[in-house]
């Protein structure tokens, strides 16, 4: 589980991180964050970052436009076609609400300081109003499931897991990428696909029997750089759009699950966490150097 995020203003500055400086973190919205509790196995207080530790910062890859992939042309501009959301869409919702994952994903980045999310296309009363950016400084993103005229059907990063809603297409900018992640609970593996091909498979630590890693389809909504790369979260932590099924809150936060490194590599491959997905520090660094945000994460049995 990822703990609470505390907002503290800080002067924006670029920070070189990752292997050989391949990754550049830019604090575009001048927000620092502080981790207040661990996401490991119960009682491991000594491995959690101290509240007095330096605050972690948002991390954003520069290999992808705006950290969310390659821009999709704005369909409102003359002479440009609407993005196709047919069989190529990386995540789709059936009539029964089940989400399926494919090889190409569309990601919607919110343009303004807030966005209204509606229960259906054409509705006039919003179900949620969400602020932008996130407390970490990352832009608010949605994984797009479908389109109906000027409306986008999106996966919403709120409880309950796999919540869905509709937003005005004019309120977001669309991006596309061809990555997806599948986490197998039974095999304790994370497999990264690009354009339908498996390009990386690594062992992972998962939730225990009393605090299991929830199944379903989620997406990476933010990338954090903890203050101590040798600490409980390793050098990077992805916040996901999903939440624990059994913990309503954790460490002052709301039970959000994540993918992160660890200072206990022996736990990778076992059931050791409160629901988060643990990788070795080497492997989470590889992911952070490769992926945009808005990558579907399908957690299967």
> Where do we find the tokens 């400084």?
137
Decide if 260 is catalytic.
yes
Decide if 168 is catalytic.
no
Question: Element (H or E) spanning 243, and its range?
Answer: strand 237-243
Look at strands 206-207 and 271-273 and give their pairing. Answer: parallel
- The gap from C-alpha 194 to its chain's centroid, in whole angstroms, comes to 17
Measure the CA–CA gap between 150 and 167, rounded to whole angstroms: 9
Quickly count: other Cβ atoms within 10 Å of residue 277's Cβ: 26
CB distance 35 to 227 below 8 Å = yes
Question: Which entry of 153, 177, 260, 274 is annotated as an active-site residue?
Answer: 260
Give the list of residues 6+ apart from residue 41 with CB closer than 8 angstroms, or none.
Answer: 208, 267, 272, 273, 274
CB distance 28 to 222 below 8 Å = no
Q: What residues are paired with 256 via a beta bridge?
A: 243
Tell me the H-state helices in the chain: 281-290
Q: By three-state DSSP, how is residue 20 classified?
A: helix
Measure the CA–CA gap between 20 and 18, rounded to whole angstroms: 6
For 36-91, give the DSSP string: -S--SSTT-GGGSPPTTSPPPEE---SSSGGGS-EEPPPTTSTT-PPPP-STTBSE
**CA neighbor of 231 nearest in space, from 277, 281, 268:** 281
Residues noted as catalytic:
260, 276
């Amino acid at each position: 589980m990822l703990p609470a995020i505390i907002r503290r203003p800080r002067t924006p500055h670029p920070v070189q991180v990752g292997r050989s400086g391949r990754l550049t973190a830019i604090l575009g919205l001048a927000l620092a964050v502080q981790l207040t509790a661990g996401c490991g196995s119960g009682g491991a207080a000594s491995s959690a970052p101290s509240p007095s530790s330096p605050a972690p910062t948002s991390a954003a890859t520069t290999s992808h436009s705006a950290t969310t992939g390659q821009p999709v042309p704005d369909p409102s501009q003359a002479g440009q076609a609407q993005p196709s959301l047919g069989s190529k869409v990386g995540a789709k919702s059936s009539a029964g609400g089940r989400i399926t994952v494919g090889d190409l994903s569309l990601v919607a980045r919110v343009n303004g300081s807030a966005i209204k999310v509606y229960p259906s296309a054409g509705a006039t009363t919003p179900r949620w109003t969400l602020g932008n950016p996130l407390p970490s400084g990352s832009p608010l993103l949605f994984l797009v499931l479908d389109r109906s005229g000027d409306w986008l059907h999106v996966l919403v990063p709120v409880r309950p897991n796999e919540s869905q809603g509709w937003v005005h297409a004019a309120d977001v900018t669309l991006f596309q990428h061809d990555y997806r992640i599948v986490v197998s609970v039974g095999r304790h593996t994370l497999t990264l696909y690009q354009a339908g091909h498996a390009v990386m498979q690594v062992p992972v630590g998962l939730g225990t029997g009393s605090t299991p890693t929830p199944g379903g389809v989620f997406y990476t909504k933010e990338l954090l750089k903890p203050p101590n790369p040798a600490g409980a979260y390793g050098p990077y932590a992805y916040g996901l759009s999903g939440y624990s099924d059994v913990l309503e809150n954790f460490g002052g936060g709301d039970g959000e699950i994540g993918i992160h490194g660890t200072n206990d590599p022996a736990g990778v491959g076992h059931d050791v966490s409160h629901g988060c997905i643990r990788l070795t520090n080497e492997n989470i660094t590889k992911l952070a150097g490769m992926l945009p945000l808005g990558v579907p994460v399908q957690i299967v049995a």
